[in-house]
Amino acid sequence: MTLDEIFGLYNYWVVICLMMTGFYIVIARKNLIKTVIGLNVFQTSVVLLYITMGKVTGGTAPIIPPEIAAQHGEHHEHSTAHSTAHSTAHMTADAPHLDHATEHGHEAVTPLTQHADHVHQTASAMADHSTELIYSNPLPSVLMLTAIVVGIATTALALALIVRISEDYGTIEEDEILLIDQRDSSH
Amino acid sequence: MFVSIFILTLLVVTAITIARIGDLWAAVMFTGIFSFLGACWMLILDAPDVAFTEAAVGAGVSTFLMLGTLALAGKTEKPTTSSSVVPLFVVAVTGAALIYGTLDMPHFGDPNSPVQTRIEPSFMEKSQSDMHGLPNVVTALLASYRGYDTLGETAVIFTAGIAVILILRRSNDGFKSNDVFNSQSNSRKGSQ
């Protein structure tokens, strides 16, 4: 095993260590709150595992920088304007070109082709921009956002059950609860 | 790289402290710290959205809920009398199996791993024209492409909320099955 491999995999190993710590807390500790804490630790490690897989070296967060996003939005409007302007010349977007189009009717073809060239230029400029930027994978982030929120729901439910158990049994230690239950069933 | 290693070391130390400490109050606070360190690492791993959620939900709400439970259910853990050899063995075997499984996994940050090459480019390209230039792709995925997922998640939270209310409901508000449950529990207390 080379040093390169160790550096490539060490984060998985750390995450597995964390997971196993959570697992240990769940199976070795008899206190119910401690068990829920162990589940939480386990869940956070699973989230970390997924997020780790989505990372790309030299990448950045999957948020498009404002200037590129603005170009895109503009590009979108332009292309709709371009496609519909042939049939209905009274579009709202990009006033000067389209005023021209309403004035000259069929002659509007020339400015529209210019317009199309312009769109093409922005598109290629944008492509240049996006080749410079590498984004990390957004999909694990989305899945883990859902997992975290579902996790808090299950934690809340488990804690409510623990409160209920402590009201009834007066203890939240697993072995004491079992003892009480055995005594009850023998009576 | 070094920040990453530092945070990972802190995470492991915190997790082991949580496992060993007997004071539940301290364990809950360490869980908050653990979640927050996790959030810091997620920020380094280019997932700011998850980091925000983990810091708010994992370190915030969940710590709050646990402290509330502690106030209602007792603060100290009974020292364990049973031996921890069997759990340690199980954990070691499982961990070894998992580490063996990582050996042929794509390396950290590898741009050619299956995770990156299967779906990602199309989402990054598609979302710009589909969402009219919405900058955050995670938002686009969460609210639109995987909108049903989010809807299901909302349903889960709703169900959990209802369940918590029903579990913690007092007997004097006329909920019949709960009355039965409480009378059973009272008789159990009487028999102790």
- Summarize pLDDT for A56-106 with one digit per residue, the tens: 888 888 888 777 766 665 555 544 444 433 333 333 344 444 444 444 444
Domain boundary among A99, A117, A132: A132
Q: For residue B53, what is the nearest residue in chain A, using CA coordinates?
A: A145
Q: Are A81 and A122 in a shared domain?
A: yes
> Average pLDDT for residues B30-47, to the nearest whole number?
92
* Nearest CA-CA partner of B186 in B172, B173, A160: B172
Please work out, in degrees rounded to the nearest 5, the angle formed at the alpha carbon of residue B103 by the alpha carbons of B101 and B109. 110
- Domain interval for residue B32: 1-76
Which pLDDT tens digit goes with each residue over B166-186? 998 875 554 444 444 444 444
Which of B 76-95 lie inside 8 A of A, CB atoms?
Answer: 77-78, 80, 82, 84, 87-88, 90-92, 94-95
Residue A148 and residue B69: Cβ atoms within 8 Å?
no
* Domains held by chain A: number: 2
Quickly count: other Cβ atoms within 10 Å of residue B40's Cβ. 19
The token duo for A161 is 């059950």
Distance from CA of B151 to the nearest CA of A (A): 10
Could you list the residue range(s) of the whole structural domain that residue A102 is in? 72-132
Q: How far apart are CA B172 and CA B170, in angstroms?
A: 6
Tell me which residues of chain B, numbers 171 to 190, contact chain A at a CB-CB cutoff of 8 Å. Answer: 185, 188-189
Asked whether residue A55 falls in the same domain as residue A81, the answer is: no
As given in the structure block, the two tokens for residue A141 are 């982030």
Residue B111 pLDDT greater than 70, yes or no: yes
Please state the φ and ψ torsions of residue A58, each to the nearest 5 degrees.
75, 5
Indicate the range of A7-11, A46-50, A179-183, B188-192 predicted with least confidence.
B188-192
The encoded tokens of residue A149 equal 């929120």
What's the pTM? 0.76
Confirm whether B148 is domain-assigned. Answer: no
CATH (domain of A56): 1.10.287.3510
Instruction: Provide, as residue numbers in chain A, all residues whose Cβ is less than 8 Å from the Cβ of B142.
Output: 142, 145-146
Distance (Å) of CA A73 to CA A22, A66, B129: 46, 10, 7
Give the domain-ending residue among A89, A116, A132: A132
For residue A156, how many other CB atoms are within 10 A of its CB? 21
In a domain, B67, yes or no: yes
Q: Is A96 within a domain? A: yes
Count of structural domains within chain B: 1
Indicate the average pLDDT of chain A: 73
Q: Does the pLDDT value for residue A143 go beyond 80? A: yes
Work out the pLDDT band at A1, boundaries 50, 70, 90: low
